[in-house]
């Protein structure tokens, strides 16, 4: 199963609500999550959180003491933050909690790109940034980029703000073109897109 499919597909409405509350209001124990979700019962919340943990979207960390008992608090993982970005969440709150959890600069880039282009591009960015973090070459599939003029200008502005990530994307496009050198039409098309993107970043 691909990383993109594993991260976000087939989440239920309760799971999405849990992701949203952890993104916007920060880490919480199971009881605190239940209290945030009006009308939710404890057992379904516990089951949903267990499933999210199994998917790698949330994690347990430092215990919270209450009445001489310790209760684990749950945080979003980097993949959980990415999933939250594909929903309608408060970007400022999400970024604040991400920074408190020590997440890296790539998440700030994704937040900036989501603001500029909408959450529909997050899936593509997940592949690029995670492959970069692992030192791997990413591959592109038929994932459309927004082409409206204003969106394009906003996207270029974000890339100029994050030059290291922009360079990683350009490098990945070059590697992709080389990978498909035996398919000239595809390789040339990607190469042309890479050159055009570099010119925009350098001159706009």
User: What is the gyration radius of the CA atoms in the chain, in angstroms?
Assistant: 19
Whether residue 62 is found in the same domain as residue 133: no
The candidate with the shortest Cα–Cα distance to 118, out of 76, 161, 147, is: 147
Whether residue 97 is found in the same domain as residue 10: yes
| Integer angstrom CA distances of residue 162 from 105, 129, 141, 201 | 9, 12, 23, 11
Instruction: Give the integer Cα–Cα distance in Å for 21 and 19.
Output: 6
Whether residue 37 is found in the same domain as residue 118: no
Which uninterrupted H or E stretch holds 66?
strand 58-66
Collapsed DSSP state (helix, strand, coil) of residue 39: coil
Give the mean pLDDT of 71-81: 85
Whether residue 87 is found in the same domain as residue 22: yes
Whether residue 59 is found in the same domain as residue 130: no
Show which of 103, 125, 152 is a domain's final residue: 103
Show which of 87, 103, 119 is a domain's final residue: 103
Q: List the single range of 26-30, 37-41, 147-151, 165-169 with lowest mean pLDDT.
A: 147-151
Whether residue 144 is found in the same domain as residue 165: yes
* Number of structural domains the chain divides into: 2
* Domain coverage including residue 55: 1-103
Whether 90 and 72 have beta carbons less than 8 Å apart is answered as: no
Residue found under tokens 């690029």? 128
Show which of 61, 77, 103 is a domain's final residue: 103
Helix, strand, coil: what percent of the chain each, to 5? 65, 10, 25
Displacement of CA 54 from its chain's centroid (Å) = 18
Whether 23 and 84 have beta carbons less than 8 Å apart is answered as: yes
Whether residue 85 is found in the same domain as residue 177: no
The candidate with the shortest Cα–Cα distance to 30, out of 11, 41, 45, is: 45
Instruction: Give the integer Cα–Cα distance in Å for 163 and 33.
Output: 38
Whether residue 34 is found in the same domain as residue 123: no
Express each pLDDT in 111-158 by its tens digit.
888 888 776 666 666 665 555 555 554 444 434 444 455 557 888 898
Report whether pLDDT(52) > 90.
yes
Beta bridge partners of 53: none
Give the mean pLDDT of 97-116: 76
Q: List the single range of 24-38, 39-53, 95-109, 177-191 with lowest mean pLDDT.
A: 95-109
Whether residue 201 is found in the same domain as residue 130: yes
Whether residue 37 is found in the same domain as residue 82: yes
Whether residue 167 is found in the same domain as residue 201: yes
Give the CATH number of the domain where residue 9 resides. 1.10.10.10
Whether 152 and 196 have beta carbons less than 8 Å apart is answered as: no
Report the mean per-residue pLDDT for the chain. Answer: 78
pLDDT given for residue 202 in this prediction: 87
Both tokens assigned to 22:
């952890």
Whether residue 20 is found in the same domain as residue 50: yes
Could you tell me the pTM of the whole model? Answer: 0.66
């Amino acid at each position: 199963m691909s990383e993109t499919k594993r991260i976000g597909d087939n989440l239920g409405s309760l799971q999405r609500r849990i992701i949203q509350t952890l993104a916007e209001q920060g880490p919480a124990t199971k009881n605190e999550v239940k209290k945030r979700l009006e009308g939710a019962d404890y057992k379904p919340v516990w089951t949903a959180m267990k499933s999210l943990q199994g998917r790698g979207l949330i994690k347990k960390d430092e215990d919270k003491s209450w009445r001489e008992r310790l209760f684990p608090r749950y945080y979003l993982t980097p993949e959980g933050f990415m999933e939250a970005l594909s929903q309608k969440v408060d970007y400022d709150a999400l970024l604040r909690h991400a920074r408190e959890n020590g997440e890296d600069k790539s998440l700030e880039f994704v937040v900036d790109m989501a603001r500029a282009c909408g959450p529909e591009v997050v899936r593509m960015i997940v592949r690029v940034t995670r492959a970069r973090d692992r030192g791997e070459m990413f591959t592109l599939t038929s994932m459309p980029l927004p082409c409206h003029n204003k969106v394009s200008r906003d996207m270029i502005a974000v890339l100029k703000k994050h030059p290291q990530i922009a360079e990683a994307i350009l490098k990945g496009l070059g590697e992709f073109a080389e990978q498909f050198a035996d398919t000239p039409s595809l390789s040339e098309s990607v190469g042309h897109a890479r050159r055009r993107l570099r010119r925009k970043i350098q001159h706009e």
